[in-house]
C-alpha cells in the first residue's frame, strides 16, 4: 500500500495538475496537503499559500472548522459526501457549487485524507428554477381552464 505523502510526492503532482476543476486534498487536521491552481484561484491565493495551511483559516478566515464541514463527516463516517450549496469566494459573485468529498484510505483502511472536487453548477440550477417556474405557470393555466 502507499502513504498519502508518497502519492503527493510521486506521480501525484503531474496527475493533480492535469485536473482543471478545483481540486484539493485535506487531512484529518484540516491541513491542505494539495491544492491545484483552480482551487487556489477561487480563494485568490497562490496554491503554495494553501498547501500546508489549515483550510478553514486560509479559505474562510475562521478559527475553527465550519459548522457543517463535509470533510469532518467524511472522516467520521468514511463515506463520500456530495454537497450542493451557495458558495462565496473573495471578489467573485456567489456560485451554486456541487462539491464532492471522497475518502482516501490509509494502510489500515482508515480514512487518511479527503479528496475534494468542486463544480460550478449555477447555470444548471438557474435552468432548473426556470423550468420549475414554467411548470407552475402551466399548471396554474391548466387548473384555471379546468375550473372554468
Q: What is the CATH number of the domain that holds 9?
A: 3.30.450.20
pTM: 0.76
Burial of 23 (0-12, 13-18, 19+ CB in 10 A): buried
129 occurs within a structural domain: no
pLDDT over 90 (residue 16): no
102 occurs within a structural domain: yes
pLDDT over 80 (residue 5): no
116 occurs within a structural domain: yes
Compute the average pLDDT of residues 6-21: 72
Average pLDDT value over all residues in the chain:
85
Number of separate domains in the chain: 1
20 occurs within a structural domain: yes
127 occurs within a structural domain: no
Range(s) of the domain holding residue 21:
4-122
47 occurs within a structural domain: yes
143 occurs within a structural domain: no
Amino acid at each position: 500500500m502507499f502513504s498519502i505523502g508518497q502519492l503527493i510526492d510521486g506521480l501525484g503532482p503531474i496527475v493533480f495538475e492535469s485536473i482543471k476543476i478545483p481540486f484539493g486534498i485535506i487531512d484529518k487536521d484540516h491541513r491542505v496537503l494539495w491544492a491545484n491552481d483552480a482551487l487556489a484561484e477561487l480563494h485568490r491565493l497562490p496554491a503554495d499559500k494553501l498547501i500546508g495551511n489549515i483550510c478553514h483559516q486560509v479559505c474562510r478566515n475562521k478559527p475553527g472548522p465550519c459548522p457543517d464541514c463535509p470533510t469532518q463527516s467524511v472522516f467520521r463516517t468514511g463515506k463520500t459526501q456530495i454537497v450542493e450549496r451557495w458558495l462565496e469566494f473573495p471578489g467573485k459573485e456567489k456560485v451554486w457549487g456541487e462539491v464532492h468529498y471522497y475518502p482516501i484510505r490509509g494502510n489500515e483502511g482508515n480514512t487518511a485524507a479527503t479528496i475534494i472536487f468542486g463544480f460550478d453548477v449555477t447555470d444548471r440550477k438557474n435552468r432548473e428554477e426556470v423550468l420549475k417556474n414554467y411548470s407552475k405557470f402551466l399548471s396554474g393555466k391548466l387548473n384555471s381552464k379546468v375550473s372554468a
